[in-house]
Amino acid sequence: MTRVVVTGAAGFIGANLIKGLNQRGLTDIIAVDDLTQGDKFRNLADLQIADYVDADLFYDAYTEGAYGQVEAVFHEGACSDTMETNGKYMMNNNFATSVQLYQACQKRGARLLYASSAATYGGSDTFREDPAFERPLNVYGYSKLLFDQRMRRECGNEFQRAFAGKTMQVVGFRYFNVYGPREQHKGRMASVAFHQFNQFKADGKVKLFGEYGGYAPGAQLRDFVFIDDVVAVNLWFFDHPGISGIFNLGTGRAQPFNDVASSVVNALRQINGQGALTLEELGAHGLLDYVPFPDALRGKYQCYTQADLTALRATGCQHTFANVQTGIASYVNWLAQQA
């Protein structure tokens, strides 16, 4: 039986990956996480795993050969708080631990599929997997970039193509703005859609940032990607062990925050038997509220992101990504069922 490891297993992407693996009938899964935040157990409660290992124990034990033959490690464990300012903690958690895991995977003959981030691009206006466009705005983005750089050095100039037998498969996914089920534990770092769903349920309206960076209120653009699509692309690479590299994982289609807000509200209206409203109508009815852009985010905020999918498509991965309207409708229905 194929054995895999998922780090950050009780987290947002990790738990959804386990769900995707379970749907394929794969249950020999070692789940690795830190459940100090105990409510995260809910993300694992309906999933099938073979074992759970605390993150403080796993990495050293795996380096020493514990857990038998592992086919692949999906490494989603990280501090993903872009507002975290403790650089020592961030670098140890996101960089040093990842390096140790990579070295253990190479020693043990396991493939490594890991979470990078679109935060590696930071202040850039071009989102292509090239050092010329990598300009992180915070220590989180830098911690992810430094590991990508390490993988480029370790794996050589052929990293963006097949390794030709030089090393085991290593794939880094630069996640853009991921949203979807099982993110409820993330607090302020949960997606805009999650927060807007709860805002509307509580207050009857959603809040968006006002004008900033030359963009009209709510018109800042992001590449919002549905969690089911993230899982599908991870599993596509799992099925293609000869392909390695660093790849953007977004839709390739930037949409404004206004699209997210209108999709959330209209999905809830549909659940309540009400008709859809245009953005202008939502504003006129007081269902959208624009708030001043916070000073704490000035100079640290990406007003525009859009994944360049050229490298991903060149691998042969032709997955079709959901747009905001479709993905948000599915997510809001899931959230409403949980409530």
Residue with tokens 């992180």: 136
Kindly report the CA angle at 254 between 76 and 277, in degrees rounded to 5?
110
Residue with tokens 């694992």: 44
At residue 119, φ and ψ (nearest 5 deg) are -65, -15
Residue with tokens 């990508």: 148
Identify the CA nearest to 255 among candidates 227, 281, 225.
Answer: 225
Please give, one letter per residue, the 3-state secondary structure of 87-127.
HHHHHHHHHHHHHHHHHHHHHHCCEEEEEEEHHHCECCCCC
Cβ neighbours of residue 253 closer than 8 Å, sequence gap 6 or more: 223, 306, 321, 323
Contact 68, 29 (CB under 8 A): no
Active-site hit among 59, 62, 140, 175: 140
CB atoms within 10 A of CB 127: 25
Active-site hit among 52, 186, 215, 304: 186
If you ran DSSP here, which 8-state letter would residue 84 be given?
-
In the beta sheet, which residues pair with residue 54?
33
300 is a catalytic site residue: no
186 is a catalytic site residue: yes
- Give the β-pairing of 170-175 and 111-117: parallel
Query: Quick one: which H or E segment has residue 55?
Result: helix 55-63
Residues annotated as part of the active site: 140, 186
